[in-house]
Structure 1
Amino acid sequence: MPNRKSVRKSVVALGSAVALLASVTLFAAGAWAMRVSPMVSELTTTGAGSAARIEVGNVGSATLPFETMITRMDMDSDGNIVETPADEDFLVFPPQGLVPVGGRQVVRVQWVGEPAVDSSQAYYLWVKQLPVVTDPNAPESGGALSVQVLYTMKALIVVAPPGAQPRVEIVSVSPAMVTPPAPQVDPSLSGDEAPPPPPAEPGVEVVVTNSGKRYALMSGATWIIEGTDKSGDAFRREYAGGEISQLVGVGYLAPLGGKRTFKLPTGVELDPAKPVNVRFAR
């Protein structure tokens, strides 16, 4: 467990929902051995809705030991996440478990923080796979490890007051050269060298804010961009479903003034002297 006074800061790639909801540490190549579902849960502060059931599944070929922890999640306008330990806000049972091959374990997450919060608050439930000793006769000081790939997955849990709603507004839209999200690769698997970033391409930079008391997930909307290209022709493009998720992740937008900058490729250069509009639809 980390020091409770520590603060972790990590940069999250906007191009992958998994990058926001699942942090994976690979020590060797291999297939996924653990599944966590659901990846997003919303709780209320009181009543039956104040608890979530998170299922940990073992789809590997060996027994899966795991432990859990909770961190509070805050995000700035560039998508940088600051996480602080927050185990005291929840009762997690069981905090540790041992899942047999093909089995599953339900972890109950109960809110025990303030019964009345002014706005939604975001947390991560970490589920960390632990190494296991394969030789029962090995001394306590050592032994062979059967787990060659260790996974840490993070499920997003949001606590929201009853009746809270988001209020998303567009601050600005402007043509820009944007760099598509690069796949996240463990440096140890690529010779400790980060892969080169993809080349920049024409797109738009969209700044949005949320003045409501509830968070918003911008990947849940269809984005419609309209403008004029450099040739003077009308431009219109819709980003929906899996495409927008690949570009903005879940697009978490914090309440009470949360602000994010999203960058979407358009494929053509838009005229900066002409209006560029963005609309959100369901």
Structure 2
Amino acid sequence: MKNLINKIFLGLLAVFATTQAIAMGVAPVVIDMKSNGRGARSEITASNTSASPLPIVVSVSEATISSTGEVTTTPVEDQFMIYPAQAIVGAGGVQRFRVQWIGDPDMQRGRTFIFSVAQQPVALTPGTSGIQILYNFETVVSVSPASAQPNLTISNSDFQTVGGKRRATLTLSNPSAAVGYLSGSRVTLQGKDANGRVVWSKTFEPNEIMQNIGVGIVSPGATRQFTLPFDLPEGGETLNANIRYYGRQ
């Protein structure tokens, strides 16, 4: 589950017997919602690019993320209204699943959920065999208080060697009541010598972070440690890091 939050791996769930693999897609992979008002509604779209009908069921679990990125999930059934909760998407068709937050409209702290959009097995034609690929796509949905905004700060930064490569390890804090995302931030790293002089500087934009690290959720009132997968130049005895938060686009 750790990689689900960090990099949203979408794809294969299981393999069973049938005659044809069914292709599907789900968007978006991340949704940022509010606890009331217009922001309390959204939608997930599932597409069927195959020539066969595609049965789909949507389920929800709440995610708890540790400071090191470990994720535990708990199924929930009473926090969202999903319509429809299951559907059969026709060949080449698209199905929109409406999502509405029906939990506490005055929540004090944001929460993170995982929506599983899972393909269901279909009945086999008597006398046939083959491979059926069942896909389970997952969308991360965060709900925060309507007036809250994330406030990500870097409380610690240091060099670390990973596989012989020089990397940066950052500890992020989010003292706000809203769910924050490293992937909604610009991060600037500077290597400084013993006199405090900057010997190199590198900046990573939100799209680079999303592509290489993933969503990077930092829960409200929590800290989270990240080792960035970017090779850093030699030189510099200390690491200075700055973050500017833009939010999910």
Q: Tell me, yes or no, whether TM beats 0.5.
A: yes
Is structure 2 residue 19 aligned with structure 1 residue 54? no
What letter is aligned with 2:50? Answer: G
Structure 1 counterpart of 2:173:
209
Q: Could you tell me whether the CA contact under 8 Å between 2:199 and 2:235 is conserved in 1?
A: no
What letter is aligned with 2:240? Answer: N
Structure 1 counterpart of 2:115:
125
- The TM-score with structure 1 as length reference comes to 0.76
- Which of 219, 226, 234 aligns to 2:190? It is 226
CA RMSD of aligned residues (A): 2.7
- Which of 262, 268, 273 aligns to 2:226? It is 262
Structure-2 separation of matches of 1:228 and 1:23: 42
Deviation at 1:240, TM superposition (A): 1.9
More deviation, 30-39/84-93: 30-39
**Secondary structure of 1:219's aligned partner:** helix
Is structure 2 residue 214 aligned with structure 1 residue 249? yes
Structure 1 counterpart of 2:2:
11
Is structure 2 residue 9 aligned with structure 1 residue 25? no
| TM-superposition CA deviations, 1:236-260 (whole Å, max 9, x none) | 112224432233211111112x211
Are the structure 2 counterparts of residues 262 and 60 from structure 1 closer, same or farther at C-alpha, using a change threshold of 3 Å? same
Deviation at 1:268, TM superposition (A): 2.9
Q: Could you tell me whether the CA contact under 8 Å between 2:8 and 2:29 is conserved in 1?
A: no
Structure 1 counterpart of 2:62:
72
Q: Could you tell me whether the CA contact under 8 Å between 2:22 and 2:134 is conserved in 1?
A: no
Structure-1 separation of matches of 2:139 and 2:13: 15
Give the paired residue count.
239
Q: Which runs of 4+ in 1 moved over 6 A?
A: none
What letter is aligned with 2:104? Answer: E
- The TM-score with structure 2 as length reference comes to 0.85
| TM-superposition CA deviations, 1:184-241 (whole Å, max 9, x none) | xxxxxxxxxxxxxxx34111111111000111111122211101479x9811112224
Are the structure 2 counterparts of residues 122 and 172 from structure 1 closer, same or farther at C-alpha, using a change threshold of 3 Å? same
Are the structure 2 counterparts of residues 146 and 64 from structure 1 closer, same or farther at C-alpha, using a change threshold of 3 Å? farther
Are the structure 2 counterparts of residues 126 and 217 from structure 1 closer, same or farther at C-alpha, using a change threshold of 3 Å? same
- Which of 238, 241, 249 aligns to 1:275? It is 238
Q: Could you tell me whether the CA contact under 8 Å between 1:125 and 1:157 is conserved in 2?
A: yes
> Which one has a larger percent strand, Structure 1 or Structure 2?
2
Uncovered stretches (5+) of structure 2, i.e. residues with no partner: none
Uncovered stretches (5+) of structure 1, i.e. residues with no partner: 1-9, 179-198
Deviation at 1:261, TM superposition (A): 1.0
- Which of 100, 110, 113 aligns to 2:100? It is 110
**Secondary structure of 1:12's aligned partner:** helix
Deviation at 1:134, TM superposition (A): 4.2
Are the structure 2 counterparts of residues 277 and 233 from structure 1 closer, same or farther at C-alpha, using a change threshold of 3 Å? closer
Deviation at 1:53, TM superposition (A): 1.5
More deviation, 44-53/70-79: 44-53
Q: Percent identity?
A: 26
Structure-2 separation of matches of 1:96 and 1:146: 26
Q: Could you tell me whether the CA contact under 8 Å between 1:57 and 1:103 is conserved in 2?
A: yes
Structure-2 separation of matches of 1:280 and 1:261: 14
Superposition map of 1:171-210 within 5 A? 171-178=155-162, 199-210=163-174
**Secondary structure of 1:214's aligned partner:** coil
**Secondary structure of 1:226's aligned partner:** strand
| TM-superposition CA deviations, 1:121-167 (whole Å, max 9, x none) | 111111011111242xx4xxxx7477621111111111111110112
Are the structure 2 counterparts of residues 59 and 147 from structure 1 closer, same or farther at C-alpha, using a change threshold of 3 Å? farther
Q: Could you tell me whether the CA contact under 8 Å between 1:133 and 1:144 is conserved in 2?
A: no
